[in-house]
Structure 1
Amino acid sequence: MDSASTKAISPFASPNTGALLKKKIIAWSLETGLPASIHVSVGGKIFSLHKLPLVSKSGYFKRKLVDLSSVELPENFPGGSETFEMVALFCYNSSFPFDPFNIGALRCASKILEMTGDFSLCERTDLYINQVVLQSWDDTLIVLQKCQTLLPWAEELLIVSRCVESLAFMACMEILDPEHKKDWPVTSLQALTGHNWSSELVKEMAGRDLWIKDLIALPFVFFQRIISSLRRQGMKEKYVSPLVVFYANKWVLSEKTHKFWENSDLKDEYNDVNSRISEILQGILELLPMGEKGSRVIPASFYFSLLSRSMSLKVSNESNIKLQNEIASLLHLAQVEDFLLPEKSVDFITSTPEFEAMKKIVMINMAAKNEEGYVVAELWDRYLCQIAMDPKLEPARFMELIEIIPMADRETHDHLYKALDTYLMEHPQLSSEEKTSVCKYLNCQKLSQDICIEAVQNEQMPLRLIVQALFVQQLHTHQAFKECSDSFRYIHCGEFSGSLSSSRCQIPRSQNLEESPFERATNIGPPLGSFLQKDSSTKRSDFSKEDYESTSFRLQALEQELVSIKQSLMKNVPKGTDSMSFRVIGLEGKTVVKKRKSLRHVNSCISLSWASQRKYASRILKILRKINMLGNGKSKIKKAASGVSSTSLACEGKPLQQMYNS
């Protein structure tokens, strides 16, 4: 509370005290016949008083007025002239009311003026503090706030300590709620788990309990001591830590508070505001629980916000390192939206302090070899999707960033594929060799079925990776068909309804890319053409029992057809050559790079309606036929609707299977 507000509500500013003191002085002069010959100067105001009332109640005046008739009190006299008016009234045996606004200053003033003894001002003010103030939450808060201007006397007289301990005790009782006065649970940070940091949301949460709102309004020097007292008195950390977070949100993270301090009279220069916030931030770090204890009660998003603020204020490097280590320990609990990113106006993202901090955090986490490394790997790959947009990011640098996470820690490469796709799209000037080098980390066997289909269709990717994705997708299809075929052998037609409950057909671990399903197809079934020409709109009810029983043979026929296509392709390789490679060349000799739209979602579950499976099989056949025709040099690719020039595939090098295996 500022000084202007204090004058507005404090009884010190009331003219009644001054008027009453004048009446007492006049009455004493008339009663004793002695003039007011002692002059006391305090706070720029001079009081003319009688000697006997002063020396009878104050040891200080008793010593000073032996040879002097005027006394000047210390410039920082507690409460200034308003408090001394009340002290003078007490010396003239005039009663006046104590209240939380004046009791602290009166207690400090009585100490300085040595007003001790029975029924002295010291004794009476102490009694009021213990029996009245410390029994009330609001009165204790008022006295503690007034103590800001009463230091160091308020500390020496234990006024601050008594108020702090009283508030902490009453806060504990508020949490325990022995009288069951509350109809709602105590505010916690559980609602913030899994969400981005929002200062407005946290502010709203802090305002739900008035006692929390009161505590976080205190100066940090007092708030810090209350938190220590709460822990000392046994309050659980899940109730203490939210108070620290709420305080940091109000005084460190809130832009409104920053702007208020900039425009207020409490600062001399802008840098003073930053210094004040930096001081509070470093104090907050001392109050926060660290390690596993803190991760259970404080959301990771808060630490990221605090680190971002710390870097913008240029707080000491020691504080930043402490925050980075804490974030690294709970990185698996974070979201990619929490990760630090520089301002959008920055051109070279990887040269910013924010990116360097994130890189260091991930490296610390990797060095710790946590069990949750796969979570951090996925977060880092998703973060790279945003970093890949940097137009100045060189391929070698991007490859270094990918290598920060060991490839073995990546359970899925879906997000890595998206990062590579974004990088290739934002850097169309890359050569085919650079594309191949950047994409060498991608393992198509760790792609989900949808992403694998997208990779097959993505002309930005190197052709070698497209062929790998094609074979992996065939493995997915073979596995799905095998599961479907097995299901018909054990399930009666009348009892079967719906599709297989599988959201993703995994490739058996024992099966690698070198074991192509083409080479394991031995059964001969009906021609694939007759299977694909069947009406795609046929319903399940139209299938006879014989149709169900012959499904497995038809599926095997699909594999046989693919085998024949492969053999036809291999026969077209010119004699004397032992390798075949492909290049995508425009009609004008320029490489064509085009972003393809990803296919609509293809569910890997196999249903009784074979329309979706026939469409998917037809898509694979079209791709292989296209390669075959282009290998013969006889195909002509139609122009795209967007006006992009058509492309052709030239065969030069080793066979398809050998190229894939390499």
Structure 2
Amino acid sequence: MMDVGKFRLGGELSDIEVVVNGKKLQLHRFPLYTRSNFFLKEFAKLTLTNSIALESFPGGIDMFTIIADYCYNISVDITVDNVVGLRCGAKYLEMYGSGNLYEKTGVLIEEILSNARKGKDLPLLVKLIASIPKYKTNETTKHALDQCCSALVHYWNKTQFSTTAIEQIKRKDILAIFMHMEFEFFISLLKILKRKSTNSDALDALVSEYILQDLDGDAVNSCNGKELEVSDKETETRVLESGQAGSTELPVAFSSEKLERVQKLLDDIQPNISQGAASKWLKPLLEAYSQVDGSDIVLGSIAAAMVNQVDGDSILKMSEDALISFAEKVNPANLSELTKDLIAENLVKRVDADHLTAAGFMKIIRRLELHQASCQDNLLYVLSLLNSKSDGLGEADLKECLAMINMKNCSVKALRHAQQTNSIPADLVLIAALDLCEKLQEKYDASAQIIQDQEKEISSLMLDNFGMLRNDVSPQRHSKQVRVSSHSNFYASPTRSDSRSGSSSSTSNGRTVDGLWSDHTLTQSTNSLQEHNTKLSEYLHRQRQTKLWK
């Protein structure tokens, strides 16, 4: 077989010019049309020119050069980094058939997918995914991405591999590949994975780890006034005043771009990140950026997306505008009772520190449905203090707030504070106090009735036990009397030998039967008494568990 490879680089005897994205290559028709149906058809169309232009060729001139070498029987390496580009180029040039380039690229891709479904060589799969954006989106790249996502999800969906899958996600080599992906492509990848996945644990771990790595050396390390680690390219910083000693330096570019990436991840993917995983970056993030100008809206959105993972300290570090943004973005139905309590307690701390305005309080309370009884005392306390100031709430706002606070659920302490500040209408405080008295009276009456019913039941159980004991003891006394009488008659009236023998036998049998009956009766009565006592003890124990007996 003639070695045509030697003509490839020198260009001797070239009879066709191929222009790829504006760059020219001097090639030969024979090697090209033996491998490519595309060139076979294009050569047939040529009449006056010996040039063919390939527009928008996948991978450009670099990828076409590798494919041209393949056509000249020059050995080429098909790797995970170039297999998608080679497959796209092979499809473009219609290089089909047994042993041709399209088939060979398919073999490698299928091998990677097959191993990934078993949890093997996952870095190769992630590399394969990462290589797809380098080529213009087309049918081949879409199909490759879909197949890769299906293989990865197939592994994730196997519950027996869930822990291992999460550990794989946290591997530095795998996570580094994800981190180097274009962010928009990464978002689209996560959406596909979420749509296909039935077990979201690995996906949630991936999002959390991505955020943590993205913020590493930035917001995460800026807590408690520590200086951030900034690279040489990130020299532009701003000094932020904080309540603690020292200062925090934040890169201006980081404070906007990274926050927006985190917000987009949480809003678009809506991962279910556990509190343990979120604690690594959420609280440091909120604390670090709470003083950055223009970050309030984004921080509020992030806190809203992670609503039930936000603790009280993190909420307190947020500015009033960030808390308002949080209230506007969050779905009140997603708020747990614990989070509502934390928010109400946070408002108390803010108003005590004079860091809460009446307008801000109105915006927050209008949006958040803090209807649970545990929040009412705190809300009334905040309202009382705010309205006692010179710039307190207007009459309309006060009425609106009072309509949202159920004063019937307020405690004596909260009502007394409202009365002492003289900031809440006295008639409303009086009505609430009367309602509280009525409620307490109802509870007292109900408790008294419960006590009476319990005493009656206890007395009944005790009488039943006493009566059962008295009835169980009398048959035993009767049996002893009968037994003594039979013994005396036996010794007092001797008879003939056969009579004595029969009488003795009769008496002996009677004594045996009588004794067995007595022992059995005694055992029954004892067991019955123990059973009743056990029931009584259990009953008393249950009553002690109620609030009334505590």
Work out whether 1:117 is the aligned partner of 2:97: yes
Work out whether 1:103 is the aligned partner of 2:83: yes
Cα distance in 1 between the residues matched to 2:409 and 2:101: 73
Q: How does 1:587-626 map to 2 (within 5 A)?
A: none
Any idea what the Cα deviations from partners look like across 1:376-412, whole Å, max 9, x if unmatched? 4356457769978987434745675455221123357
Aligned to 1:330: 335
Work out whether 1:55 is the aligned partner of 2:24: no
Q: Secondary structure at the match of 2:422?
A: helix
Selected match of 1:288 from 270, 278, 290: 270
Q: AA paired with 1:39?
A: E
Q: AA paired with 1:333?
A: L
Superposition deviation, residue 40 in structure 1:
1.9
Aligned to 1:529: none
Cα distance in 2 between the residues matched to 1:155 and 1:411: 68
Cα distance in 1 between the residues matched to 2:128 and 2:384: 55
Q: AA paired with 2:153?
A: A
Aligned to 1:158: 143
Aligned to 2:297: 311
Q: AA paired with 1:288?
A: Q
Are 1:238 and 1:297, in contact at CA under 8 Å, matched by a contact in 2?
no
Q: AA paired with 1:220?
A: I
Any idea what the Cα deviations from partners look like across 1:91-133, whole Å, max 9, x if unmatched? 1012222111111111111111111122111111011100135
Aligned to 1:220: 187
Aligned to 2:407: 407
Aligned to 1:375: 374
Are 2:15 and 2:28, in contact at CA under 8 Å, matched by a contact in 1?
yes
Any idea what the Cα deviations from partners look like across 1:560-595, whole Å, max 9, x if unmatched? xxxxxxxxxxxxxxxxxxxxxxxxxxxxxxxxxxxx
Are 1:58 and 1:113, in contact at CA under 8 Å, matched by a contact in 2?
yes
Q: Secondary structure at the match of 2:14?
A: coil
In structure 2, do the counterparts of structure 1 residues 220 and 48 end up closer, same or farther at CA, with 3 Å as the change threshold?
Answer: same
Q: Secondary structure at the match of 1:81?
A: helix
Selected match of 1:359 from 358, 362, 365: 365
Cα distance in 2 between the residues matched to 1:214 and 1:411: 57
In structure 2, do the counterparts of structure 1 residues 252 and 405 end up closer, same or farther at CA, with 3 Å as the change threshold?
Answer: farther
Aligned to 1:147: 132
Selected match of 1:73 from 48, 54, 63: 54
Are 1:25 and 1:49, in contact at CA under 8 Å, matched by a contact in 2?
no
Q: Secondary structure at the match of 2:132?
A: helix
Which ranges of structure 1 fall in alignment gaps of 5 or more residues?
1-22, 188-205, 265-269, 367-372, 421-432, 447-471, 473-505, 512-662
Q: Secondary structure at the match of 1:39?
A: strand
Superposition deviation, residue 295 in structure 1:
10
Please give the root-mean-square deviation of Cα atoms over the aligned residues, in Å. Answer: 5.8
Cα distance in 1 between the residues matched to 2:23 and 2:278: 55
Are 2:32 and 2:39, in contact at CA under 8 Å, matched by a contact in 1?
yes
In structure 2, do the counterparts of structure 1 residues 509 and 171 end up closer, same or farther at CA, with 3 Å as the change threshold?
Answer: closer
In structure 2, do the counterparts of structure 1 residues 211 and 139 end up closer, same or farther at CA, with 3 Å as the change threshold?
Answer: closer
Superposition deviation, residue 158 in structure 1:
1.1
Superposition deviation, residue 51 in structure 1:
1.3
Which ranges of structure 2 fall in alignment gaps of 5 or more residues?
116-120, 221-227, 235-251, 306-324, 446-550
Cα distance in 2 between the residues matched to 1:134 and 1:359: 54
What TM-score do the two structures reach when normalised by structure 1? Answer: 0.43
Are 2:377 and 2:410, in contact at CA under 8 Å, matched by a contact in 1?
yes
Cα distance in 1 between the residues matched to 2:389 and 2:213: 34
Cα distance in 2 between the residues matched to 1:57 and 1:390: 86
Q: AA paired with 2:392?
A: L
In structure 2, do the counterparts of structure 1 residues 254 and 103 end up closer, same or farther at CA, with 3 Å as the change threshold?
Answer: same
Aligned to 1:436: 422
Aligned to 1:42: 20
In structure 2, do the counterparts of structure 1 residues 87 and 169 end up closer, same or farther at CA, with 3 Å as the change threshold?
Answer: same
Q: AA paired with 2:338?
A: L
Cα distance in 2 between the residues matched to 1:437 and 1:64: 89
Cα distance in 2 between the residues matched to 1:328 and 1:121: 56
Are 1:83 and 1:105, in contact at CA under 8 Å, matched by a contact in 2?
yes
Q: AA paired with 1:94?
A: I
Q: Secondary structure at the match of 1:438?
A: coil
Cα distance in 1 between the residues matched to 2:94 and 2:404: 70
Q: Which is bigger in relative contact order (C-alpha 8 A, separation at least 6)?
A: 1
In structure 2, do the counterparts of structure 1 residues 50 and 210 end up closer, same or farther at CA, with 3 Å as the change threshold?
Answer: closer
Q: Secondary structure at the match of 1:84?
A: helix
Selected match of 1:127 from 93, 107, 110: 107
In structure 2, do the counterparts of structure 1 residues 69 and 156 end up closer, same or farther at CA, with 3 Å as the change threshold?
Answer: same
Q: AA paired with 1:46?
A: K
In structure 2, do the counterparts of structure 1 residues 151 and 349 end up closer, same or farther at CA, with 3 Å as the change threshold?
Answer: farther
Q: AA paired with 2:408?
A: A
Superposition deviation, residue 140 in structure 1:
0.8
Any idea what the Cα deviations from partners look like across 1:267-292, whole Å, max 9, x if unmatched? xxx99x979976984674454379xx
Are 2:21 and 2:61, in contact at CA under 8 Å, matched by a contact in 1?
yes
Cα distance in 2 between the residues matched to 1:37 and 1:117: 25
Cα distance in 2 between the residues matched to 1:137 and 1:92: 34
Cα distance in 1 between the residues matched to 2:298 and 2:365: 18
Superposition deviation, residue 228 in structure 1:
2.1
In structure 2, do the counterparts of structure 1 residues 26 and 245 end up closer, same or farther at CA, with 3 Å as the change threshold?
Answer: closer
In structure 2, do the counterparts of structure 1 residues 388 and 302 end up closer, same or farther at CA, with 3 Å as the change threshold?
Answer: farther
Aligned to 2:453: none
Q: Secondary structure at the match of 1:47?
A: strand
Selected match of 2:122 from 132, 137, 142: 137
In structure 2, do the counterparts of structure 1 residues 210 and 279 end up closer, same or farther at CA, with 3 Å as the change threshold?
Answer: closer
Superposition deviation, residue 172 in structure 1:
3.9
In structure 2, do the counterparts of structure 1 residues 239 and 72 end up closer, same or farther at CA, with 3 Å as the change threshold?
Answer: closer
Cα distance in 1 between the residues matched to 2:275 and 2:300: 29
Superposition deviation, residue 49 in structure 1:
1.0
Pair member with larger Rg: 2
Selected match of 1:176 from 160, 175, 179: 160
Q: Secondary structure at the match of 2:25?
A: strand
In structure 2, do the counterparts of structure 1 residues 46 and 350 end up closer, same or farther at CA, with 3 Å as the change threshold?
Answer: farther
Q: Secondary structure at the match of 2:73?
A: coil
Q: How does 1:270-285 map to 2 (within 5 A)?
A: 281=263, 284-285=266-267
Work out whether 1:90 is the aligned partner of 2:70: yes
Cα distance in 1 between the residues matched to 2:76 and 2:385: 69
Cα distance in 2 between the residues matched to 1:295 and 1:351: 34
Are 1:155 and 1:161, in contact at CA under 8 Å, matched by a contact in 2?
no
Q: Secondary structure at the match of 1:169?
A: helix
Cα distance in 2 between the residues matched to 1:78 and 1:339: 57
Aligned to 1:19: none
Work out whether 1:349 is the aligned partner of 2:357: yes
Q: Secondary structure at the match of 1:132?
A: helix
Any idea what the Cα deviations from partners look like across 1:195-228, whole Å, max 9, x if unmatched? xxxxxxxxxxx95887678667751100121122
Superposition deviation, residue 326 in structure 1:
2.6
User: How many residue pairs end up in the alignment?
Assistant: 367
Superposition deviation, residue 336 in structure 1:
2.8
Cα distance in 2 between the residues matched to 1:229 and 1:141: 17
* Identity value in percent: 16
In structure 2, do the counterparts of structure 1 residues 146 and 391 end up closer, same or farther at CA, with 3 Å as the change threshold?
Answer: farther
In structure 2, do the counterparts of structure 1 residues 105 and 374 end up closer, same or farther at CA, with 3 Å as the change threshold?
Answer: same
